[in-house]
Amino acid sequence: MVFEISEKHRTIFKSLASSWIRIGATCVQLVQGDEVLIGCPDSVPISAPIFSTTTRDSNLTLHVYGAVDMRWAPSADSMLDVFVSLLTADSDLDSLTAALVETQDRLVALYELTQATRRTLDVTVLLDLLIQQSKHLLDVDGGFVVLKEKNKNPIIHQVSEKPLHPAHMDAAATLYHRDPNRHIFKDSETLPGGMRNVMMVSLPVRDEISAAMGLFNKSGNFTTPDIKLAKTIAGQIGAQLENALLHKEAVERTRLETEMYIARQVQTAILPQTLPKMEGLDIYATSIPALEVGGDFFDVIDRSKESLVFALGDVTGKGMPAAILMSMVHTVIKSASRNMPFINPHEVVNRLNHDMYNDFSNVGMFTTVMIGLLDSSTHSLRYCNAGQSPIYYIPVNGEPVLLEAQDIPVGIFDVHTYSTQTISLSSGDIFVAASDGFPESCNPAGEMFGYERMKSALNLSRDLPSKKIVENLLDSVYQFCGTHPQEDDRTIVVIKFQKSGE
């Protein structure tokens, strides 16, 4: 043990040594090794000491010079013991004071960290505060945090003058998670590059997130107190980090909901807001998406005073991907219907398949679609049905007939020639084009509404205006489904035909 000699120690030693001077000693010295710690008087003796005594534990020696009776030797032992006890007590007190100061500094740092983190819900700022304070308290080159959640990219944040590669920090976290009870790793144990030693502790956040903090390259060795301190820091920050992550998720969810709301507004806006009017026709159409946005669409486009084109389709899937493709399909159909000369609707469907096949095949999707051309001058309806169902024809004096699709959906094959079917219309005839969201609607027991219930609902409303036919059908579906949520888009176009002059 190396003792620090203060002025107080010199004064006490000279007071004790003066007793030896009075009985004939010329000099009294306290020596450690070859170094004289205290001498009384300060002059260097020219002769050897009369006697000396040494302690075992502290390696201190008391030399007495001059004409002193050897019978006083036991007193020298006592003097040395008293003075060594004094030095030891003062040294222990200094060490305890330093430890208390260090503990106080750490407590203040933890308090300041807690106060600082309570004022932020930014995950990046929070992690930066955590690592900066840990780096300061534990005297390391740098630190990092790795947050992993299932099906999400990991969050890796570090503070270091010599940044590590993210893969190395991820590898260190993986090494720790293999044995969470072990906290200290050294470079001889295949640590990732840039780390001589690293201490890892867990961050207490919710179970589905794997969170760990690493502190690396301590000048000495990590100790058990270091682990306890790091765990204390991690425990202090855990609740704030949990709140920050929840806040981040809430912000992202709000942003997504806002974007979906805007997308819904846009999708609603591109569908017809008003339908063209034509003498002898009663037309009504609507679309009710299952989610904020959907893959169903419809349109009614007038080509002349006596003819119009109507379309209804259903892109596979739901949500944003289906909505994006739906917008593209709708745009192609509208453009072709207005600008492309054609007599048969399958020509528009051929064009649609030609323009959209690559887009559909790239994402593994397709669309069903029905396009009709109604000519009031010839009392005829030509239509092309590419996989769309259900389609009903309700003749004025007959039962509703389910018209089967004659062609495959668009986007299945890169080259396919579609076909057109023709119906001669009489006054009172009704044509209904709908999406499968109607017959495939389910009740709480899992039973589907089905084609027969839909056929029956349409038949009961056949004498009503087209809008009322749709409203009654929707009411029937809602009553059947009860509390079961809507799982698919419901889109429908209803056209009632009446010859001019009747």
Element spanning 96, H or E: helix 73-118
Judged against a pLDDT cut of 80, whether residue 401 lies above it is answered with: yes
How confident is the model over 465-495, as pLDDT tens digits? 999 999 999 999 999 999 999 988 899 999 9
How confident is the model over 331-385, as pLDDT tens digits? 999 999 988 999 999 999 999 999 999 999 998 999 999 999 999 888 899 999 9
Least confident of 115-119, 232-236, 454-458, 461-465: 115-119
Interatomic CA distance for residues 425 and 212, integer angstroms:
73
pLDDT band at 300 (very low <50, low <70, confident <90, very high): very high
How confident is the model over 429-439, as pLDDT tens digits? 999 999 999 99
Judged against a pLDDT cut of 90, whether residue 449 lies above it is answered with: yes
Do residues 439 and 333 share a domain?
A: yes
Pull the structure tokens for residue 356. 């959209």
Do residues 419 and 322 share a domain?
A: yes
Question: Residue 264: inside a domain, yes or no?
Answer: no
Q: What percent of the chain has pLDDT over 90?
A: 35
Peptide bond into 345 cis (omega under 30): no
Name the domain boundary from 64, 97, 130: 97
What is the rounded average pLDDT for all residues in the chain?
Answer: 85
Do residues 449 and 414 share a domain?
A: yes
- For residues 130 and 201, the answer to whether their CB atoms sit within 8 Å is no
Do residues 220 and 334 share a domain?
A: no
Q: What percent of the chain has pLDDT over 70?
A: 92
pLDDT band at 499 (very low <50, low <70, confident <90, very high): low
Pull the structure tokens for residue 497. 């035909």
Do residues 288 and 354 share a domain?
A: yes
* Domain with 72 in it: 7-97
Least confident of 138-147, 234-243, 308-317: 234-243
Do residues 92 and 128 share a domain?
A: no
Report which of 323, 276, 275 is spatially closest to residue 297, judged by C-alpha positions. Answer: 323
Question: Residue 200: inside a domain, yes or no?
Answer: yes
pLDDT band at 102 (very low <50, low <70, confident <90, very high): low
Judged against a pLDDT cut of 80, whether residue 105 lies above it is answered with: no
Judged against a pLDDT cut of 80, whether residue 191 lies above it is answered with: no
Q: What is the pLDDT of residue 114?
A: 63
Q: What is the pLDDT of residue 98?
A: 58
Question: Residue 445: inside a domain, yes or no?
Answer: yes
How confident is the model over 57-79, as pLDDT tens digits? 778 888 989 888 888 788 888 88
How confident is the model over 318-335, as pLDDT tens digits? 777 888 888 899 999 999
pLDDT band at 313 (very low <50, low <70, confident <90, very high): very high
Question: Residue 104: inside a domain, yes or no?
Answer: no
Give the mean model confidence (pLDDT) for residues 113-140.
Answer: 75
Least confident of 152-161, 304-313, 415-424: 152-161
Question: Residue 108: inside a domain, yes or no?
Answer: no
CATH of residue 187's domain is 3.30.450.40
- For residues 145 and 131, the answer to whether their CB atoms sit within 8 Å is yes
Of 355 and 148, the one with more pLDDT? 355
Judged against a pLDDT cut of 70, whether residue 111 lies above it is answered with: no
Give 290's contacts (C-beta < 8 A, 6+ positions apart): 318, 437, 486, 487, 488, 489, 490
**Is pTM, for the whole model, over 0.75?**
no
Judged against a pLDDT cut of 80, whether residue 291 lies above it is answered with: no
Return the beta strands (E) in 293-436 as ranges. Answer: 296-302, 307-315, 367-375, 380-386, 391-394, 401-402, 421-424, 430-434
Q: What is the pLDDT of residue 298?
A: 94
pLDDT band at 51 (very low <50, low <70, confident <90, very high): confident
Judged against a pLDDT cut of 60, whether residue 250 lies above it is answered with: yes
Do residues 205 and 284 share a domain?
A: no
Do residues 413 and 324 share a domain?
A: yes
Give the mean model confidence (pLDDT) for residues 242-268.
Answer: 76
Question: Residue 261: inside a domain, yes or no?
Answer: no
Do residues 380 and 278 share a domain?
A: yes
How confident is the model over 7-18, as pLDDT tens digits? 888 888 888 888
The count of structural domains within the chain is 3
Interatomic CA distance for residues 330 and 325, integer angstroms:
8
Do residues 284 and 379 share a domain?
A: yes
Question: Residue 103: inside a domain, yes or no?
Answer: no
Judged against a pLDDT cut of 70, whether residue 118 lies above it is answered with: no
